[in-house]
Structure 1
Amino acid sequence: MLLAMTVAAVPAFGSELEELKAEMRRLQQRIEQLEERQKREAAQQPQPAAPTAAASPAAPAGGESVKAGTLPGSILIPGTATSLRPYVSVRIDATYDTAGRNNDTRNNDWATAVFAQPLRINSANRQRDDQFYGTARASRLGLDSSTPTPLGTLETKVEADFNAPNDYMGELASNGVMFRLRHAYGKLGNLLVGQTWSNYIDLRSYPETVDFNPPGNTTLLRQTQLRYTIPVGPTTLSLAVENPESLTSTPPVQTLSNSGRNDFDRIPDVTANWSWHGERAHLSLHAATMEYHNDFRTKRGYALGLSGSAALGTGTLVAGVQGGEGVGRYMFNSIMQGAADTGRDLLLWRAAGFHLGYTQPWTATLRSNVILSRTVFGANASADAYQRSAWAGKVDEFVPNRRVDQAFVNLFWSVTKNIETGIEYAWGERETFAGERGRQQRINAMIQYSLP
């Protein structure tokens, strides 16, 4: 039976096999026809030009190629006309004091502040010789941008570091430090609005120190402002209104809510800066006026300054002199000696200061600086007596000064394009109207990594 069924199925199987072979031949013919059609169509298409060596690289899938922006080290944001430059500076500072120091390193006093150096005769901090402090809190993050607009180029800058006061997460725990805004502004043509260095400042005349702070006769103000700059040939005139900060009393009094002499701000500070820029020198004449104001009294102070730089020999000379009445925070050494309300009168301190610095390049990667500075205060017996009594037994370091002297000698080494180190000896001495003295002797060291 099986044999009979097999013999009967052979003719049917043979017929299906022949049909399958015929179908395969028809499919093969169709494929050949399609291939021939593709060849004819390709021959009719224009051929693309061969790529040249200057051709741009192919764009990544799903986006545009990354292009260089107009700012050095910047990129053009795809799909926009904005150039963006991020930058990072990792900075490690170390200080070693052989003659005591202010112990408030949780704030900004880790850097030089000779105006508050412990006095030799009545400060426990004077007894604490040989102190070391290391920190990375001066490290920075920033973004620069540039965008063309119908009104001109819009420039913006945002920069922050970690040098803010920190009571809770310092060395005792994890060496945590707090984020601090340094710059945040926009500049369109000649108009600047935002927070940056005061218009009163002439940074180009500042000497170069390893210490995070320059000499105390200079100004260290970054504040919110509206500034307009008028260029006239090689000169510029900048006018600005800036955020005020009145300090007519000392903090121990200010902390009392019922003191009746609380400070407050009424009108902005006004600043002006005229600058001349030459090929080998520059000059700046700057002025500021500010109001001291509290619940009962008000007085207007002022500051005037002249500064500049010049190529001298193989190096560069920088110098500056400034002073005024109620200069206050417009000179670092006088930040606590601007004005004093004695209860009968609002008294403004008179102050003046100068600095002189010379930068000598030894090689393409080595340079050093020698810097001298002095700040002096006019005698004011009533203000001195009031502030001395306010601080006595609280923070003796803030007793008013008659004079503050400073000197720096340093050496910088540019290890590579992105790595720089520096070491410095810093000396300083303050003298009060009572003849008390406090002396600083410090070694500063720094290493900084910068990207890009």
Structure 2
Amino acid sequence: MTNGGLFRLTRTALMAATCLTATPALAQEASVEDRLDRLERLVEGLIERLDAEADSHRAQESEITAQREEMRQQGAALLAATQQLKDRQAELAQQIAEPPEQEDRGFRMGKTTVAYSGYVKVDAMTQRTSGGQLPATSILRDFLVPGAIPVGGEASGFDTNFSARQTRFIFNTATDVGAEHKLKSHIELDFLVTDGGDERVSNSFVPRIRQGFITYDNWLIGQAWSTFMDVGALPDSVDFIGVTPGTLFNRQPMVRWTKGGLQLAVEQPETVVTDRAGRRIEAGDDTLPDFVAKYNWTGDWGRVSLAGIARSLNISDDDFGTGSDSALGYGVALSGKLNLGKRDDLRFSASYGDGIGRYVGVNIVNDAAIDDEGNLDPIATYAGFAALRHLWDDKLRSNIGAAYFKADNPVMFTTDQVSDESWNAFANLIWTPVAPLDFGVELLYAERMLEDGRTGNLQRLQFSTRYNF
């Protein structure tokens, strides 16, 4: 009820009271008027009180309204700050998912940014071979090459070796040639499968070039991993490759064009032939490059690659004295890495080819044989691997994997002393106490079978320390 309404109600009540109490006697008129005056003053005082209280309520309402406006402004500011934090978090997540290019972390020389990276890796392994003692210079003392597993001899004892030969140095440059073009280079060195050094005194092994190429916009020119190979599908192993029998593995000079997920390349040709005595001959008579096409699909689920290769295999009369010949070699490969939740991924590869032996299992068999008429007979191969990685936490992970290889050798032309099958399996545990440093331990078993049915195996325990820089 408003102040005016209350006043009118009070007035009405007073008038009613006055009427009820009035008498016809003139003697009482003065006293009634006095009482009415007092009542009127009382009502006016009450009205003033009510007005004061109303003013107080209005002041409180204004204060509450001001507090509400202040809280609304504070809430809006808090929402804006929260959004800024979310945007920064997304930016950091993007930087982690797609780290800046390596040359951005280097130093500037004129228009060229220079950067380097790589790792120091020290391996200690003890291994035993069932088919014969390993030579002191055997590549098997560094990493698994199935074609080098001894077959047919007496079982060896355990051989222990220490090595830092996988240590790698990478040198990158990026030159400013304007916003419309990108010009870069990549040089990579390590010390595997090279001459020099000895275990007695120095272990001073000669460095070798692994990769050396230039990239200009969508073009790569130089020595790099073959386009037919999928480096991103290789498992997280302590061994250099881990699943060698089932792996496409090759580095060579090439010219490659990339557009989105599509890659087209012409690569160095090299026909490798098995002669009638089972020996390996590198003919060196190639006339056309190896042609490779690959397409990569990527997404939150992982990535998958499909690749194909076409080759012209060639020999000349001076190689075998049987005349010149050429044959078609070809192959297909499906590979990739699939994310299985937040802590697991599956890496795999499957390939088939006719005349692609030098690309498979570190050239476990050759590309072709020579038939009775001196013609090339391409050798068919089947290969594949699968590896599962699990992250136990941010510092500990483990991997298990297995690989298989099978050749369809024309035994009548190659003899039965060539590799027919090979397989291997491994399991490891890798601990990362700080981000750049890994300590790993791995158990590995590998086997090779010849066409005559004889087999040889390798059993290995390997420890590794690797510092990435």
Give the TM interval when normalised to the shorter protein: 0.7 to 0.9
Match of 1:127, SS state, is: coil
Q: Is the 8 A contact 2:221 2:255 kept in 1?
A: yes
Partner amino acid for 1:352? Answer: Y
Give how far 1:252 is off. 8.0
> When the two structures are superposed, what TM-score results if normalisation uses the length of structure 1?
0.73
- Per-residue CA deviation, residues 211-244 of structure 1 (Å, 9 max, x unaligned), is 112312112211111000122xxxx110011111
2:235 corresponds to 1:207: yes
Match of 2:197, SS state, is: coil
Partner amino acid for 1:237? Answer: L
Residues 255, 210 of structure 1: alpha-carbon distance in 2 compared, 3 angstrom cutoff: closer
Q: Is the 8 A contact 2:102 2:115 kept in 1?
A: yes
Q: Report the Cα distance in structure 2 between the residues aligned to 1:238 and 1:180, rounded to whole angstroms.
A: 27
Q: Is the 8 A contact 1:106 1:170 kept in 2?
A: no
Residue 308 of structure 1 is matched in structure 2 by 336
Among 401, 404, 410, the residue aligned to 1:374: 404
Give how far 1:209 is off. 1.2
2:396 corresponds to 1:363: no
Q: Report the Cα distance in structure 2 between the residues aligned to 1:282 and 1:255, rounded to whole angstroms.
A: 37
Q: Which residues in structure 2 correspond to 1:216-295 (within 5 Å)?
A: 216-231=245-260, 236-249=261-274, 262-295=283-316
Q: Is the 8 A contact 1:164 1:179 kept in 2?
A: no
Match of 2:382, SS state, is: strand
- Per-residue CA deviation, residues 354-412 of structure 1 (Å, 9 max, x unaligned), is 11111000010110001011111225232342xx4xxxxxxxxxx32222111110111
Give how far 1:158 is off. 0.7
Among 424, 427, 431, the residue aligned to 2:442: 424
2:98 corresponds to 1:71: no
Residue 20 of structure 1 is matched in structure 2 by none
Q: Report the Cα distance in structure 2 between the residues aligned to 1:177 and 1:250, rounded to whole angstroms.
A: 33
Give how far 1:99 is off. 2.9
Residue 92 of structure 1 is matched in structure 2 by 122
Q: Report the Cα distance in structure 1 between the residues aligned to 2:276 and 2:108, rounded to whole angstroms.
A: 48
2:360 corresponds to 1:331: yes
Q: Is the 8 A contact 1:358 1:369 kept in 2?
A: yes
2:103 corresponds to 1:103: no
Give how far 1:304 is off. 0.7
Unaligned runs of 5+ in 2: 1-99, 317-323
2:168 corresponds to 1:140: yes
Q: Report the Cα distance in structure 2 between the residues aligned to 1:112 and 1:338, rounded to whole angstroms.
A: 21
- Per-residue CA deviation, residues 281-315 of structure 1 (Å, 9 max, x unaligned), is 21100011222222122212112101111111330
Q: Report the Cα distance in structure 2 between the residues aligned to 1:207 and 1:170, rounded to whole angstroms.
A: 31
Give how far 1:102 is off. 6.6
Q: Report the Cα distance in structure 2 between the residues aligned to 1:427 and 1:267, rounded to whole angstroms.
A: 39
Match of 1:174, SS state, is: coil
Residues 75, 174 of structure 1: alpha-carbon distance in 2 compared, 3 angstrom cutoff: closer
Q: Report the Cα distance in structure 1 between the residues aligned to 2:247 and 2:172, rounded to whole angstroms.
A: 26
Unaligned runs of 5+ in 1: 1-68, 389-398
Q: Report the Cα distance in structure 1 between the residues aligned to 2:362 and 2:468, rounded to whole angstroms.
A: 30
Runs of 4+ more than 4 Å apart: 250-256
2:189 corresponds to 1:160: yes
Match of 1:160, SS state, is: strand
Q: Report the Cα distance in structure 1 between the residues aligned to 2:279 and 2:386, rounded to whole angstroms.
A: 36
Q: Is the 8 A contact 2:439 2:463 kept in 1?
A: yes
Q: Is the 8 A contact 2:369 2:410 kept in 1?
A: no
Residues 330, 362 of structure 1: alpha-carbon distance in 2 compared, 3 angstrom cutoff: same
Partner amino acid for 1:112? Answer: L
Give how far 1:169 is off. 3.2
Q: Report the Cα distance in structure 1 between the residues aligned to 2:340 and 2:227, rounded to whole angstroms.
A: 27
Give how far 1:163 is off. 1.2
Residue 48 of structure 1 is matched in structure 2 by none
Residues 413, 254 of structure 1: alpha-carbon distance in 2 compared, 3 angstrom cutoff: same
Identity rate of aligned residues, in percent?
A: 24
Q: Report the Cα distance in structure 2 between the residues aligned to 1:432 and 1:172, rounded to whole angstroms.
A: 35
Give how far 1:107 is off. 5.9
Root mean square deviation of aligned Cα: 2.5
How many residue pairs were aligned?
Answer: 357
Give how far 1:263 is off. 4.1
Among 425, 428, 433, the residue aligned to 2:451: 433
Match of 2:182, SS state, is: strand
Q: Is the 8 A contact 1:356 1:371 kept in 2?
A: yes
Residue 82 of structure 1 is matched in structure 2 by 112
Match of 1:336, SS state, is: coil
- Per-residue CA deviation, residues 31-53 of structure 1 (Å, 9 max, x unaligned), is xxxxxxxxxxxxxxxxxxxxxxx
Among 185, 192, 195, the residue aligned to 2:220: 192
Partner amino acid for 1:383? Answer: F
Residue 23 of structure 1 is matched in structure 2 by none
Which segment is superposed worse, 149-158 or 261-270?
261-270
Q: Report the Cα distance in structure 1 between the residues aligned to 2:276 and 2:435, rounded to whole angstroms.
A: 45
| Higher helix fraction (1 or 2) | 2
Partner amino acid for 1:195? Answer: Q
Among 122, 146, 149, the residue aligned to 1:117: 149
Residues 250, 413 of structure 1: alpha-carbon distance in 2 compared, 3 angstrom cutoff: farther
- Per-residue CA deviation, residues 52-110 of structure 1 (Å, 9 max, x unaligned), is xxxxxxxxxxxxxxxxx9636623415x3432211242111122113356735536443
Q: Report the Cα distance in structure 2 between the residues aligned to 1:72 and 1:280, rounded to whole angstroms.
A: 29
Residues 195, 449 of structure 1: alpha-carbon distance in 2 compared, 3 angstrom cutoff: same
Larger radius of gyration: 2
Q: Which residues in structure 2 correspond to 1:392-431 (within 5 Å)?
A: 399-431=417-449
